[in-house]
Amino acid sequence: MKKTVSGHTALYAILGDPIAHAMSPVLMNSNFEQLGMDKVFLALKANLTDFHEIFPVLVKLGFEGFVFTMPVKEVAVSYMDELTQEAKIIGAINCAVRKDGKLIGSNTDSIGFWKAIQQANDAEKPIRKAFVLGCGGFSKAAIAQAAIQGVQEIVVANRFEETSFMESFHKFQTRLLAHIPTVRITLVDWIPETWKSILPTCDLVANGTPNGMADKGDLHQIFPFDSVSSDTIFFDAVYLPRETRFLKMARSRGHIGVEGLDLLVHQGAVSFWNYTEKEASPSVMKENILRFWNEQ
């Protein structure tokens, strides 16, 4: 029977701008339907100009949960009653759920990133040192979760000349070290030649930048692959294309490559649990996404 939305239907939404590309409605509505849940997930446009008007109205209307995407991940924090540990460290959230009258904010990108890495890590290789490209919203989530999981050293490569980058990074680093004082964070400039002395001891290389999205960018050309250990794991947060040229190059050299699509479905499964306290299969979520893309 086709699903009918009624006055009893629980409402959820992803907020951001742009929003038409968002995959959260596909992930969540597919699972709601498969489990026979009377819930609907919407995609709603909201940005830094109007978020303070839109979000309180949705809360008052009784929306049960939210996903936040760019550019509202940071501004949403101030509307939460409670934050999880990783959300406090990162200073940004991408998931919120109403529980006992309170809004609980979390960062499922953070947890989803680590779950995707561990699923691909067949040899259960210990990850003691990570090299993270970029320090935007996702990269901060990856850095925080790596530290929570016991990674001892994290090297972050970013362009030093970016406006207000240093101030933002140092605030994030201060929060991180306040929670996990044992982790060592090193910041290096976006000069690939200087990375060569660092990469041989890195167990994980993670691209958190948009370099490679829509097959645009030069990361696959400038990254010093010859300096990386043969068993280093590569991750790319970009999921369109599904296999970036950066990941393709790494895989051609025998490395394990973890796709942005894996992050997408693992963070989706964590968010689904937050909303429903029911397990969602990342592999089924991936099938749903691929089916949706094929039908477009």
- Whether the pTM exceeds 0.85: the reply is yes
pLDDT in tens, 151-166: 999 999 998 876 667 7
pLDDT over threshold 80, residue 123:
no
Active site residue 73: yes
- pLDDT, tens only, 197-227: 999 999 999 999 999 999 999 999 999 999 9
Say if residue 1's pLDDT is above 60: no
Alpha-carbon span 251 to 244, nearest angstrom: 11
User: Under DSSP, is residue 125 helix (H, G, I), strand (E, B) or coil?
Assistant: coil
Q: In the chain, where does the domain assigned CATH 3.40.50.10860 lie? A: 10-106+264-295
Domain at 10-106+264-295, CATH class: alpha beta
Chain region(s) in the chain for CATH 3.40.50.720 = 110-258
Question: For the ranges 45-49, 120-124, 207-211, which has the lowest average pLDDT?
Answer: 120-124
Q: Report how far Cα 140 is from the mean position of its chain's Cα atoms.
A: 9
* CATH number at 110-258: 3.40.50.720
Catalytic residue among 2, 3, 39, 73: 73
Residues in the chain: 296
Higher pLDDT residue, 290 or 125? Answer: 290
